[in-house]
């Protein structure tokens, strides 16, 4: 028999466990989920309303999550964590978003991404291991700082950043246009071009930067939804950090993105959008089953139109949830249940092979949440339009899904282009010449135009040759 879902010791007013894919969770994970729902009812959800109205960063919610050991959810037990797997991470994020606070769920998603990036390269670093051991005890919130003001949602292309080797370590420069928890997190994983950068933007490195080493502007944050998430600008202004703060070897950024940051961010943020969609369905169910129309003697829930809204919303959302959890299950299978010791071998990148699948779960979940929240608002009528029912907040929060990088426009093009033209056509770092376009444009020039272009190109080629020839002299300080 399915257990009864409770809310403040009474039966939950939304959908019960019979609409949740509980078979994917172990008994221990189901127990954790029930405890987390209790915490959402008593602490996280009341704080969510305050965060949204007053733009308050949800640190109190992180303190509550730490009381269940959730900041170290995926940290191995030997290092003081819960040692949980990817399916559990998706469940926890979904639960926080659905019953508690979507802003907290997004901050927690970035925290887990940052924790995973550190775990990926913590085997030979006592400093990283020490931080990982203290996550819950000291409520140490992490975040990912990648997006660059010059390249928008192409967060893998950090133009406004660099790192240099100096006598006492690495001097790190980073300008980030968005960083969840900016100014509130205790530590950040920051990506820059690698030291000795030579113009190849696929050569990236990661650094651990502490809260007191960044400049943030939380006072400028004001947005449609996820208002507690505080995703403001972040600047690391030439701060020198010790050598052991580079995360992984020099040039490890691409491996870190493909194996860890993308898979974790896409898995957990998809779970966040799915949680918001379920949260909107829960709220709407409570309303339509209670509201009566005296003239026709029916509740709103008795109209077949409303039943259709719910049927479709539940089916579509559960398709997204099962898709997301199946990627979590795949990640568990690939890594022996999220065993971080496999990464003592720096070349082990089992998650990265499936990158196009993570793109697909994010696209589906972010598309679905906007549609479902919209339909649930329609089902609730004018009452849903008012703030006190909370459905408008879920609708606003869910809107972040489509626009967060990688945006849904970018993702659907990546998947379509990959399927039709192959991997090289994606050209993340603008390095592959599109000969078809090039020749087509040159064809449009007359003889004079071609000569002018050829002269310009020869001049550029000479300048590049000269620059190359000078490089060793510049490097030797001459």
Ligand X SMILES: Cc1cc2nc3c(=O)[nH]c(=O)nc-3n(C[C@H](O)[C@H](O)[C@H](O)COP(=O)(O)OP(=O)(O)OC[C@H]3O[C@@H](n4cnc5c(N)ncnc54)[C@H](O)[C@@H]3O)c2cc1C
Q: How far is the CB of 409 from ligand X (least distance, A)?
A: 3
Up-side HSE of residue 476: CA atoms within 13 Å toward CB?
A: 6
Q: Name the segment binding ligand X (CB under 6 A); options: 42-50, 137-145, 273-281, 316-324.
A: 137-145
Q: What angle do CA 319, 321, 322 make, to 5 degrees?
A: 65
- Candidates 405, 412, 418, 426: give the one binding ligand X (CB under 6 A): 405
Contacts (CB under 6 A) with ligand X, residues 270-329: none
Q: How far is the CB of 399 from ligand X (least distance, A)?
A: 9
Q: What does the per-residue mask of binding to ligand X show for 89-128, with x meaning CB under 6 A?
A: ---------------------x------------------
Three-state SS across the chain?
A: CCCCCEECCEECCCCCHHHCCHHHCCHHHHHHHHHHHHHHHHHHHHHHHHHHHHCCCCHHHHHHHHHCCHHHCCCCHHHCCCCCCHHHHHHHHHHHHHHHCHHHHHHHHHHHHHHHHHHHCCCCCHHHHHHHHCCCCCCCCEEEECCECCCECCCCCCCCEEEEEECCEEEEEEEEEEECCCCCCCEEEEEEECCCCCCCCCCEEEEEEEHHHCEECHHHCCCCCCCCCCCEEEEEEEEEECHHHEECCCCCHHHHHHHHHHHHHHHHHHHHHHHHHHHHHHHHHHHHHHCEECCCCEEHHHCHHHHHHHHHHHHHHHHHHHHHHHHHHHHHHHCCCCCHHHHHCCCCCCHHHHHHHHHHHHHHHHHHHHHHHHHHHHHHCHHHHCHHHCHHHHHHHHCHHHHCCCCHHHHHHHHHHHHHHCHHHHCCCCCCCCHHHHHHHHHCCCHHHHHHHHHHHHHHHHHHHHHHHHHHHHHCCC
Closest of 357, 332, 329, 325 to residue 93, by C-alpha: 325
Nearer to ligand X by Cβ, of 56 and 87: the residue is 56
Nearer to ligand X by Cβ, of 89 and 313: the residue is 89
Q: Provide the token pair at 91.
A: 């469940």
Q: How far is the CB of 331 from ligand X (least distance, A)?
A: 21
Number of other residues whose CB lies within 10 A of the CB of residue 429: 15
Q: How far is the CB of 162 from ligand X (least distance, A)?
A: 17
Contacts (CB under 6 A) with ligand X, residues 226-265: 226, 229, 231
- The Cα 81–Cα 93 span in angstroms is 17
Q: Name the segment binding ligand X (CB under 6 A); options: 34-42, 366-374, 398-406, 442-450.
A: 398-406
Nearer to ligand X by Cβ, of 143 and 324: the residue is 143
Contacts (CB under 6 A) with ligand X, residues 412-471: 413
Q: Name the segment binding ligand X (CB under 6 A); options: 126-134, 147-155, 315-323, 444-452.
A: 147-155
Q: How far is the CB of 465 from ligand X (least distance, A)?
A: 32
Q: Name the segment binding ligand X (CB under 6 A); options: 83-91, 124-132, 407-415, 462-470.
A: 407-415
Q: Name the segment binding ligand X (CB under 6 A); options: 204-212, 223-231, 298-306, 307-315.
A: 223-231
Q: How far is the CB of 139 from ligand X (least distance, A)?
A: 19
Q: How far is the CB of 470 from ligand X (least distance, A)?
A: 34
443 burial via Cβ count (<10 Å: 0-12, 13-18, 19+): exposed
Closest of 98, 127, 384 to residue 243, by C-alpha: 127
- Candidates 47, 95, 129, 143: give the one binding ligand X (CB under 6 A): 143
155 binds ligand X (CB under 6 A): yes
- Candidates 78, 127, 409, 456: give the one binding ligand X (CB under 6 A): 409
Residue closest to ligand X (Cβ): 152
Q: Name the segment binding ligand X (CB under 6 A); options: 50-58, 85-93, 403-411, 465-473.
A: 403-411
Q: How far is the CB of 179 from ligand X (least distance, A)?
A: 5
Nearer to ligand X by Cβ, of 2 and 413: the residue is 413
Nearer to ligand X by Cβ, of 45 and 154: the residue is 154
368 binds ligand X (CB under 6 A): no
Q: How far is the CB of 431 from ligand X (least distance, A)?
A: 15
- Candidates 147, 193, 205, 254: give the one binding ligand X (CB under 6 A): 147
- The Cα 244–Cα 121 span in angstroms is 11
153 binds ligand X (CB under 6 A): yes
Q: How far is the CB of 444 from ligand X (least distance, A)?
A: 24
Q: How far is the CB of 475 from ligand X (least distance, A)?
A: 32
Nearer to ligand X by Cβ, of 33 and 147: the residue is 147
- Look at the block and give the residue holding tokens 């696209």: 363
Q: How far is the CB of 177 from ligand X (least distance, A)?
A: 6
Q: What does the per-residue mask of binding to ligand X show for 173-192, with x meaning CB under 6 A?
A: ---x-xxx------------
Interaction site with ligand X (CB under 6 A): 110, 143-147, 152-153, 155, 176, 178-180, 226, 229, 231, 400, 403-405, 407, 409-410, 413
């Amino acid at each position: 028999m399915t257990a009864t879902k409770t809310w403040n010791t009474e039966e939950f007013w939304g959908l019960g466990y019979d609409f949740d894919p509980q078979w994917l969770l172990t008994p221990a994970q189901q127990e954790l989920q029930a405890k987390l729902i209790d915490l959402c009812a008593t602490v996280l959800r009341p704080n969510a309303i305050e965060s949204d109205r007053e733009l308050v960063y949800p640190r109190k919610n992180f303190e509550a999550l730490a009381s269940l050991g959730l900041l170290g959810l995926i940290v191995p037990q030997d290092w003081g964590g819960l040692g949980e797997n990817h399916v559990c991470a998706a469940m926890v994020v979904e639960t926080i978003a659905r019953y508690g606070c979507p802003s907290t769920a997004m901050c927690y998603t970035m925290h887990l991404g940052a924790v995973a990036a550190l775990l990926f390269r913590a085997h030979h670093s006592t400093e990283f291991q020490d931080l990982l051991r203290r996550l819950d005890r000291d409520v140490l919130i992490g975040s990912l700082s990648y997006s660059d003001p010059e390249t928008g949602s192409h967060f893998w292309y950090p133009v406004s950043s660099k790192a240099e080797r100096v006598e006492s370590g690495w001097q790190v420069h980073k300008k980030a246009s968005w960083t969840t928890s900016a100014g509130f997190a205790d530590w950040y994983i920051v990506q820059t071009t690698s030291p000795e950068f030579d113009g190849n933007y696929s050569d990236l490195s990661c650094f651990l930067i502490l809260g007191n080493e960044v400049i943030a502007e939380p006072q400028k944050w004001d947005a449609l939804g996820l208002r507690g998430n505080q995703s403001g600008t972040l600047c690391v202004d030439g701060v020198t950090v010790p050598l052991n703060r580079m995360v992984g070897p020099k040039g490890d950024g691409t491996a870190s993105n493909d194996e860890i940051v993308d898979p974790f961010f896409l898995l957990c943020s998809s779970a966040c959008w799915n949680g918001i969609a379920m949260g909107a369905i829960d709220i709407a169910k409570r309303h339509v089953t209670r509201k009566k129309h005296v003239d026709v003697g029916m509740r709103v829930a008795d109209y077949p139109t409303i039943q259709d809204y719910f049927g479709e919303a539940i089916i579509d959302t559960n398709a997204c949830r099962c898709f997301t959890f199946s990627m979590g299950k795949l990640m568990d299978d690939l890594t022996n249940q999220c065993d971080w010791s496999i990464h003592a071998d720096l070349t082990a990148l089992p998650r990265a092979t499936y990158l196009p699948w993570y793109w697909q779960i994010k696209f589906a979940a972010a598309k679905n949440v906007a549609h479902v929240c919209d339909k649930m608002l329609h089902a609730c009528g004018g009452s849903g339009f008012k703030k006190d029912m909370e459905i408008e907040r879920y609708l606003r929060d869910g809107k972040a899904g489509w626009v967060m990088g990688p945006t849904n426009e970018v993702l659907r093009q990546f998947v379509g282009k990959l399927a039709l033209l192959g991997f090289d056509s994606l050209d993340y770092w603008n390095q592959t010449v599109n000969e078809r376009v090039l020749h087509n444009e040159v064809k449009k020039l007359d003889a004079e135009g071609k000569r002018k272009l050829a002269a310009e190109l020869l001049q550029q080629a000479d300048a590049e040759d000269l620059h190359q020839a000078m490089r060793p002299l510049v490097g030797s300080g001459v």
